[in-house]
Homo-oligomer: A and B are copies of this chain.
Amino acid sequence: MEEKEISQAVIGRLPRYFRYLGELKDQGIERVSSQELSDIMNVTASQIRQDFNNFGGFGQQGYGYNVEYLFQEIGRILGLNRDHNLIIVGAGNLGQALVNYGNFERRGFLFKGVFDKNPQLYGKKIRDKEVQPMENMEKFVETNQIDIAVLTIPKTEAEKVAERLVGCGIKGIWNFAHVDLRVPEEVQVENVHLSDSLMKLAYNISRSRSSWEA
């Protein structure tokens, strides 16, 4: 299977397919046609067929798609067939919110440690993890096979922390700091720039307002 040629646009849609298929599965639905998926997902049926063709199709003429199989297969492609060990750097509200959000664990994203530079937080428990000082980070990453670090720290500190994480072999950074990190290309970065998303919403509101006024 030639997974390397899949475009980032398709990849970007896979988690959404995965989510909808998971819901069908939870409802006990065993098979689904591209047309049915199209109706609930608000994507064209031909887009769905095209996307699934990237992975060899999965579908059978006249039967549609097997929900369980498709769910497992997309999960496997997304790398969800194995667990990921995570640390959180930054034990503020956002970091705590992420640790406490149980859904990630269900998908195999396991929070193994929480770090902060504020000594007043050391030892404080977030879920069942004690906040540790930043000095412990490298050793912890190496001894606990951590592959993903979640950065919920101010942008002024993010670059330096990212460098340290790269130095101890981190594979991916889930970056909530409002800065674009520069890391070697073998390290994957996924940014969640909340302000950018809010500004886009503001733009769409003001555009819709001016089209109403026009």
Residue A183 interfacial (CB < 8 Å): no
B16 and A196 contact, CB distance less than 8 A:
yes
Binds B, one of A47-55, A97-105, A132-140: A97-105
Residue A203 interfacial (CB < 8 Å): yes
Chain B proximity mask over A8-41: 1 for CB below 8 Å, otherwise 0: 0001101110110000000000000000000001
| Residue in B closest to A13 when the chains form the complex, CB atoms | B196
Q: Once bound together, how far apart are the Cα atoms of A195 and B79, in whole Å?
A: 13
CB distance from A41 to the nearest CB of B (A): 8
Binds B, one of A59-67, A116-124, A161-169, A171-179: A171-179
Residue A58 interfacial (CB < 8 Å): no
CB within 8 A of A93: which of B93, B200, B209?
B93
A197 and B205 contact, CB distance less than 8 A:
no
CB distance from A193 to the nearest CB of B (A): 7
| Residue in B closest to A174 when the chains form the complex, CB atoms | B201
| Residue in B closest to A16 when the chains form the complex, CB atoms | B196
Protomer copies: 2
CB within 8 A of A203: which of B77, B147, B171, B197?
B77
CB within 8 A of A197: which of B80, B101, B192?
B192
A147 and B195 contact, CB distance less than 8 A:
no
B190 and A201 contact, CB distance less than 8 A:
yes
B18 and A199 contact, CB distance less than 8 A:
yes
A201 and B178 contact, CB distance less than 8 A:
no
CB distance from A196 to the nearest CB of B (A): 4
Chain B proximity mask over A177-214: 1 for CB below 8 Å, otherwise 0: 01010000010111011111111111111111111100
- Known contacts A12-B200, A18-B199, A103-B178; A205/B147 CB under 8 A: yes
- Known contacts A77-B203, A178-B19, A199-B18; A188/B171 CB under 8 A: no
10 A-B pairs with CB atoms under 8 Å apart are A15-B196, A19-B195, A41-B180, A79-B202, A79-B205, A80-B199, A104-B198, A172-B204, A174-B198, A192-B197
